Amino acid sequence: MVNTNAQKFVLVTGGAGYIGTHTCIELLAAGYQPVVVDNLCNSREISLDRVAAISGVKIPFYSLDVGNAEALREVFSRYDFVGVLHFAGLKAVGESVTQPLRYYQNNVAATLVLAQVMQECGVERLIFSSSATVYGDPASVPISEDFPTSTTNPYGASKLMVEDILRDVCKVPNSGWKVCLLRYFNPVGAHISGLIGEDPSGTPNNLMPYVSQVAVGKLKQLGVFGDDYDTIDGTGVRDYIHVVDLAIGHVKALDKLMTEQPCCLTYNLGTGSGYSVLQMVKAFEQAAGVCVPYKVMPRRAGDIAQCYADPVMARDELGWTAELGLERMVADSWRWQSNNPKGYE
Ligand code: NAD
Ligand code: WQD
């Protein structure tokens, strides 16, 4: 069979990280050729060795900061990229509150540099990792793409700023830009091989890595942030999406941009279903066959009661729906964590 995607090089910024590694595998499976740039500020190069073990392909890797225009230009001069998947970014909400300048510099200013270099080099297809955090505290659920946006912390603001910048870039008359803003809900799970997964540095902020580390004995007990929300059991409800489904969503988005006229498209990547903290804990315990001790704590500042996507637009326009359910999410998280109790260390 003819491979119609032959020599379709794709730049993957932040490709050594959690979502980037999984997306590289799906890009390869779809016939694209990822090239990774990452400054390894929140990842390790070994993650790409694991990608090679899974896929049989050693992905070209450049250790550089996306804010370094010269270094980026050098990479752009080596490959005829069809597009860029821009994952590189800092993502800890609490940290963004104490280090706003670092977050705006890294997430906004570096993205400007990337976009400028792309424009210079005539590469104008871009997929940006946005977040459901741009919906703030939504008036209702499920959340569709036309809901109003607002943010409560510098991390969320950095995502919304980049969205605004990219929308403006696409509005320029005769712009050639084809941009897709993907708003992820709560990515969890890991590749079925158990070779790659989420490897947070320090104590995890997010629920699933915390639960996994309690299950593996690295942390003592989970703190459940509030059990008095107006939800099924009083604990917060989120739209957890398997990272492999999320990765496939990026391939579908790239496929669409390959044939699209200049545009700026926005899609939710979520399942459309919400699970509570305690439902997640129970599912994880069943998959892992271990007990996850927890203690109810006060609500975490800034948290909302529930958040889940209306995923219909991605289904209708990208032909994408999340396929992997809760059992796979927790089983795969556990496989990764139990095979790699210290992450990539
Ligand atoms: P991650 O930290 O595992 O991956 C991000 C990667 O980017 C890391 O490898 C890091 O070293 C790299 N990086 C950061 N700044 C860089 C820079 N200036 N230059 C080069 N490399 C840089 O995070 P992830 O979970 O894979 O998230 C990927 C993207 O998706 C991020 O932009 C994040 O904000 C966004 N996102 C993540 C979630 C989530 O819950 N994981 C949800 C919504 C959106
Ligand atoms: C999920 C639920 C917590 C930890 C964050 C970012 C968002 C996006 C995804 C990047 C909530 C509860 C959590 C714990 C708990 N990231 N919880 N104990 O807050 O929905 O979203 O990650 O874009 O921007 O804000 O995810 O995993 O932190 O929390 O009870 O130790 O688990 O209260 O209800 P969140 P989370």
pLDDT 10s digits, 41-73: 999 999 999 999 999 999 999 999 999 999 999
Burial code (b: 16+ CB inside 10 Å, e: under 16) for 210-243 equals: bbbbbbbeebeebebbbbebebeebbbbbbbbbb
The overall average pLDDT reported for the chain is 97
Average pLDDT over residues 323-338: 98
Average pLDDT over residues 273-289: 98
Name the residue of 97, 206, 304 whose CB sits within 8 Å of the most ligand 2 atoms, as the mutation to test its pocket: 206
Distance CA 30, CA 156 (A): 31
Residue corresponding to tokens 């969205």: 163
Q: For ligand 2, what atom is nearest to the CA of residue 93?
A: 25
Q: Using alpha carbons only, give the angle 286, 287, 293 rounded to the nearest 5 degrees.
A: 55
Distance CA 248, CA 244 (A): 6
Q: Please say whether the beta carbons of 183 and 321 come within 8 A.
A: no
pTM of the model: 0.98
| CB-based pocket (< 6 A), ligand 1 | 13-14, 16-20, 38-43, 65-67, 87-91, 106, 110, 129, 131, 184, 187
What pLDDT, on a 0 to 100 scale, did the predictor assign at position 6?
66
pLDDT bracket for residue 3 (50, 70, 90): very low
What pLDDT, on a 0 to 100 scale, did the predictor assign at position 2?
42
Longest CA–CA separation in the chain, Å? 58
In tens, the pLDDT along 158-205 reads 999 999 999 999 999 999 999 999 999 999 999 999 999 999 999 999
Average pLDDT over residues 206-229: 97
Percentage of the chain beyond pLDDT 70 is 98
- For ligand 1, the distance from its centroid to the CA atom of residue 107, given in whole angstroms, is 9
229 is catalytic: no
The answer, yes or no, to whether residue 79 has pLDDT greater than 60, is: yes
Q: Please say whether the beta carbons of 179 and 260 come within 8 A.
A: no
Peptide bond into 209 cis (omega under 30): no
Distance CA 75, CA 61 (A): 10
- For ligand 1, the distance from its centroid to the CA atom of residue 224, given in whole angstroms, is 25
What pLDDT, on a 0 to 100 scale, did the predictor assign at position 7?
87
In tens, the pLDDT along 237-271 reads 999 999 999 999 999 999 999 999 999 999 999 99
- Phi and psi at 128, nearest 5°, equal -110, 135
SS3 content of the chain, % helix, strand, coil (to 5): 40, 20, 40
| CB-based pocket (< 6 A), ligand 2 | 91, 93, 131, 133, 186, 205-207, 210, 222-225, 236, 238, 277, 300, 303
The answer, yes or no, to whether residue 118 has pLDDT greater than 60, is: yes
- For ligand 1, the distance from its centroid to the CA atom of residue 115, given in whole angstroms, is 17
What pLDDT, on a 0 to 100 scale, did the predictor assign at position 75?
98
Percentage of the chain beyond pLDDT 90 is 98
Please report, for residues 162, 204, 268, 325, 341, the alpha-carbon distance to residue 115 in angstroms, rounded to integers and kept in the order given. Answer: 10, 31, 22, 36, 38
